[in-house]
Structure 1
Amino acid sequence: MSIRTAESIFDALIARIVAGDMRPGEPLVEQALAEQFGVSRTPVREALHRLEQAGLAERGLRRAFFVRKMKAEDLAELFEAAGEVESVLAALAAHRMSEIERHTLSAILSEGDACGDDPRAYGEINTRFHETIKTGAHNAILAATLDDLNLRTQAWRVANFQENQRRLATSRAEHRSIAEAILARDADEARRRMCSHVASSYIVAADLLARRNL
């Protein structure tokens, strides 16, 4: 099985679910999806398992998958948890980042400023920005915890930039603010700014969820 194929199917399905193209309760049939994507059922099965882990799919009768209804309170709890963990990592990164990691963070900021209004390009840069901070904190347990939470919030964070063009500008400003605190070795401010940044992402995601569930 191609891992890349499974990831591509996973990405395509979460995009459809978050956009509302696939509604809560809609069945996710392996054979039908395999035919749509022109692949065997194996990568589709792997993608569906990942959707279940991400909280976007669940199983019903006969263990068949279907699109899970995301409740507003579930989304709020997810982003609250992610914000708390990631803000701690930002505070640790302020003290623990190496000079190479600090230069990398600055370079990623510049890439974010230069990529224009392409949501896909900025989304990739956004991921690298957060990954650099997570790695720079040098705490494997917290990093693994964040990885699990990111899997479950990934679709909503990506949708931030695809559904709301204004979010690119505010995200850039928030990234710069977070980086400034980290580079100044101000752990308390880095923590506060990261928590605020994740909260801003949540507000956009919550609005999207509300519109999707109308």
Structure 2
Amino acid sequence: MTRSERSADQVHSILSDRIVAGRLRPGDPLAESTLADEFGLSRTPIREALHRLASEGLVERGARRAFVVRRMSVTDLRDLFETLGEIEAICARLAAHRMTEIERDDLRRLLGQERIDYPLLNARFHDALRTGARNHLMSGLLEDLDRRSLPWRDASFRAQTRRVEQSRAEHLEILDAVLARDGELAARLMREHMASSLSAIAEMIRERPGPGERIVARPRSGAVPDLD
């Protein structure tokens, strides 16, 4: 990885955190020159970071093609996690039947590791199920959904310790279903897992400063929370 790539990663991470935490509000400008001065970098890594944020749906082009923080409504989040939950559920169901014994053992050992940064462990768990599903088209569809959802999911892990413990427990339930080759149960648990993720994000949004829309959460319902 080049120095420019490392710099772009750092800028992307910092700006992503600011947007999700509400420190940068919808419509706030993200001028390349201003950011370059703030981070002491050239415009190249700044531009790369902004394009990555745009691919995740966190920023968009505003007036005169300049980047601004995108308004991510609760409806947008609901639609995102509803779609993500359904595709992840299909992957879990297929993985329960298609994973090899070696892959099942690797998945079991993965969840036994506690020293791995949890957002990374979470990503590896979901990646293992997608690989085990043996469906390249579905895996490709999830790449875009991951780019759009992971900043919010990772932020909820950092903001709420209890969400990490809840997520670990949900992963173990899904693991048991996969090991038992119970595809329907694995799919249902995955839908509930993604609904819980959205509930945690909704709570995080309600707790952050500034006005916001409200999501009424129904944890463990198996469906994404409704709007109020």
Q: How does the TM-score come out when normalised to structure 2? A: 0.87
Structure 1 counterpart of 2:39 = 37
Structure 2 counterpart of 1:134 = 130
Q: 1 CA distance for matches of 2:80 and 2:74?
A: 10
Q: Identity over aligned residues, as a percent?
A: 49
The Cα of 1:5 is off from its aligned counterpart by 2.9
Structure 2 counterpart of 1:187 = 183
Structure 1 counterpart of 2:80 = 78
| Aligned residue among 49, 52, 56 for 1:50 | 52
Aligned ranges 1:66-105 → 2 under 5 Å: 66-105=68-107
Pairwise CA RMSD of aligned residues? 1.5
Which structure is higher in RCO with an 8 Å CA cutoff and minimum separation 6?
1
Q: Is the 8 A contact 1:177 1:193 kept in 2?
A: yes
Q: How does the TM-score come out when normalised to structure 1? A: 0.92
Question: Any idea what SS the aligned residue of 2:60 has?
Answer: strand
Is 1:211 matched up with 2:170?
Answer: no
Structure 2 counterpart of 1:61 = 63
Q: Would you say how many aligned residue pairs link Structure 1 and Structure 2? A: 208
Deviation by residue 1:54-91 (Cα, 9 ceiling, x = unmatched): 11101111100011111111110000000001010111
Structure 2 counterpart of 1:27 = 29
Question: Any idea what SS the aligned residue of 2:117 has?
Answer: helix
Gaps spanning 5+ residues in structure 2: where? 212-228
Gaps spanning 5+ residues in structure 1: where? none
Q: 2 CA distance for matches of 1:92 and 1:4?
A: 36
Q: 2 CA distance for matches of 1:85 and 1:3?
A: 31
Question: Any idea what SS the aligned residue of 2:34 has?
Answer: helix
Question: Any idea what SS the aligned residue of 2:41 has?
Answer: coil
The Cα of 1:195 is off from its aligned counterpart by 0.6
User: 1:122 is matched by which residue type in structure 2?
Assistant: Y
Divergent runs of 4+, >4 A: none
